[in-house]
A and B are shown apart, each in its own frame.
Chain A
Amino acid sequence: MSTQESVVNLRAEIKEWLFREAELLDDGLERTWLEDMVSRDIVYQLPLRQTVERARGAGWVEGTFHLDERYGSLNSRVARNESAYAWAEDPPSRIRHFVTNVRPVANDDGTVSVRSNLLIYRTRQDNVVPQLLSGERHDVLRREDGVLRLLERRILLDMTAIGTHNLSIFF
Chain B
Amino acid sequence: MTNFTNRTDNSERILDQLEAGLPVGELPASLYGSKEIYEREKRNVFGRCWVFLAHESEIPAKGDYVLRKVGEDNFVVVRDEQGEINVLFDACRHRGVQICRADSGNTSHFRCPYHGWTYDTKGNLIGAPLWKNAFGGMDKSSNGLAGAAKVGSKHGLIFATLDPTAPSLDDYLGGMGWYLDLVFGLNEHGVEVLGAPQRFVIDANWKSGADNFSGDDYHLGTLHKSVWEIGAFPVSFQDNMMGYHIQASPGHSLSFSMAPNDDEPGPKFFGYPERVAETFTSERISEDQLNVARRSRVFVGNVFPNFSILALPMTEDGANFPPTAVLTIRTWQPVSEGKVEIWNWFCAYKNMTEEEKQRSYRAGLGTFSMGGSFEMDDTEPWITVARTGRSTAAEVLDFKLNYQMGMPGIGIGHPVDDWAGPGKAFWTRYEEGVQRNLFKFYLGMMKAEPGQWPALTFDED
**Closest Cβ–Cβ distance, residue A50 to chain B (whole Å):** 4
Which of A46, A53, A61, A77 has a CB less than 8 Å from the CB of B195? A61
Note all chain B residues with C-beta closer than 8 A to A97.
Answer: none
**Are A76 and B380 in contact (CB-based, < 8 A)?**
no
Cβ contact within 8 Å between B365 and A87: no
B200 nearest CB neighbor, chain A only? A162
- Asked whether A51 lies within 8 Å of B371 as measured between CB atoms, the reply is no
Q: Specify which of B201, B203, B232, B377 is in contact with A86 (CB 8 Å cutoff).
A: B377
**A134-171 interface with B by 8 A CB criterion:** 160-168
A7 CB within 8 Å of chain B = no
A68 to B194, CA, bound (A): 14
Q: Please determine whether B196 and A64 come into contact, CB atoms closer than 8 angstroms.
A: yes
- Contact B377–A48 (Cβ < 8 Å): no
Q: B371 near A67 (CB under 8 angstroms)?
A: yes
Residue numbers in A under 8 Å from B373 (CB-CB): 76-77, 80
| Cα separation A9 to B350 with both chains bound (whole Å) | 52
Q: Is the CB of A50 within 8 A of B317?
A: no
Q: Is A73 an interface residue (CB 8 A)?
A: yes
Measured as residues with beta carbon below 8 angstroms from the partner, the interface class of chain A is: 35 or more
Q: How far is the CB of B134 from chain A (nearest CB, A)?
A: 26
Stretch with Cβ within 8 A of A (4 or more), from B14-22, B99-107, B441-449:
B99-107
Q: Which residues of B contact A8 (CB under 8 A)?
A: none
| Most A-side CB within 10 Å, residue of B371, B373, B381 | B371
Question: Pick the contact of B370 from A59, A63, A69, A162 — CB < 8 Å?
Answer: A162
Indicate whether A12 reaches chain B with its CB closer than 8 angstroms.
no
Stretch at the interface among B152-160, B222-230, B259-267, B273-281: B222-230
Cβ-closest chain A residue relative to B225? A85
Within 8 A of B (CB), among A56-103: 56, 59, 61, 63-70, 72-73, 75-77, 79-80, 83-88
Of the candidates B226, B319, B376, B383, which one forms a contact with A167 in the assembled complex, judged by CB atoms under 8 Å apart? Answer: B376
Complex CA gap A77/B232 in Å reads: 11
List A contacts of B321 (CB < 8 A).
Answer: 72
Given contacts A52-B102, A56-B105, A168-B376, contact A76 B318 (CB under 8 A): yes
Contact B198 A48 (CB under 8 A): yes
Binding site for B on A (CB under 8 A): 46, 48, 50-53, 56, 59, 61, 63-70, 72-73, 75-77, 79-80, 83-88, 160-168
Are A87 and B377 also in contact (CB < 8 A) when A64-B195, A163-B201 are?
Answer: yes
Q: Is the CB of A51 within 8 A of B230?
A: no
B320 contacts A by Cβ under 8 Å: yes
B223–A166 touching, CB < 8 Å: no
Q: Is the CB of A72 within 8 A of B201?
A: no
A168 to B316, CA, bound (A): 14
Q: Among B101, B199, B203, B371, which residue has its beta carbon within 8 angstroms of that of A46?
A: B371
| A-B contact sample (20 more), CB < 8 A, given A52-B104, A68-B361, A162-B370 | A56-B102, A56-B105, A64-B196, A67-B365, A69-B366, A72-B319, A72-B320, A76-B316, A76-B319, A76-B366, A77-B366, A80-B229, A80-B373, A83-B230, A85-B222, A85-B226, A86-B226, A88-B379, A162-B201, A166-B376
B375 at the interface (CB under 8 A from A): yes
The 8 closest A-B pairs by CB, nearest first: A64-B195, A167-B371, A166-B376, A72-B317, A85-B225, A161-B199, A50-B103, A165-B379
Can you report 12 A-B residue pairs in the complex whose CB atoms are below 8 A from each other?
A50-B102, A52-B104, A53-B101, A53-B102, A73-B366, A76-B317, A86-B377, A163-B201, A164-B370, A165-B383, A166-B370, A166-B376
Q: Is the CB of A160 within 8 A of B199?
A: yes
- CB proximity to A under 8 Å, residues B206-259: 222-227, 229-230, 232
Q: Residue of B at shortest CB range from A67? A: B371
Contact between A51 and B317, CB atoms less than 8 A apart = no
A87–B226 Cα gap in the complex (Å)?
Answer: 9
Name the distance in Å between B280's Cβ and chain A's nearest Cβ. 26
Question: Is the Cβ of B198 less than 8 Å from the Cβ of A79?
Answer: no
Contact of A165 (CB < 8 Å), options: B222, B223, B319, B380: B380
A167 neighbours in B (Cβ, 8 Å) = 370-371, 376
CB < 8 Å neighbour of B365 from A51, A61, A68, A88? A68
Complex Cα spacing A85 to B373, Å: 11
Give chain B nearest CB distance to A44 CB in angstroms: 11
Residue ranges of B at the interface with A (Cβ–Cβ < 8 Å): 101-105, 194-196, 198-203, 222-227, 229-230, 232, 316-321, 341, 361-362, 365-366, 369-371, 373, 375-377, 379-381, 383
In the complex, residue of chain B having the shortest beta-carbon distance to the beta carbon of A164 = B200
A86 to B380, CA, bound (A): 11
Check if A83 sits within 8 Å of B383, measured CB to CB.
no
Closest B residue to A70 by CB, please name it: B317
Q: Which residues of A contact B362 (CB under 8 A)?
A: 68, 73
Measured CB to CB, the nearest residue on chain B to A54 is B102
Determine the distance from Cα of A126 to Cα of B376 in the docked complex, in whole angstroms. 19
CB distance from B194 to the nearest CB of A (A): 7
Task: Tell me, in angstroms, the Cα distance from A123 to B198 when the chains sit together.
Answer: 22
**In the complex, A163 Cα to B381 Cα: how many Å?**
17
Contact A64 B194 (CB under 8 A): yes
Contact of B229 among A50, A67, A85 (CB under 8 A): A85
Q: Specify which chain B residues have a CB less than 8 angstroms from the CB of A59 in the assembled complex.
A: 103
Q: How many Å from the CB of B312 to the closest CB on chain A?
A: 17
Task: Known A67-B371, A164-B200; judge A87-B319 contact (CB<8 A).
Answer: no
- In the complex, which of the residues A84, A86, A163, A168 contacts B371, with contact meaning CB atoms closer than 8 Å? A168
Contacts of B101 in A (CB 8 A): 51, 53
- Central interface residue in A67, A83, A87, A164, by most chain B CB within 10 Å: A87
* Distance from A94 Cβ to chain B, minimum over Cβ atoms (Å): 15
In the bound complex, do residue B232 and residue A76 qualify as a contact, i.e. CB atoms below 8 Å apart? yes
Known interface pairs A75-B317, A76-B230, A161-B341. Does A50 touch B200 (Cβ–Cβ under 8 Å)?
A: no
Question: How far, in Å, is B121 (CB) from chain A's closest CB?
Answer: 16
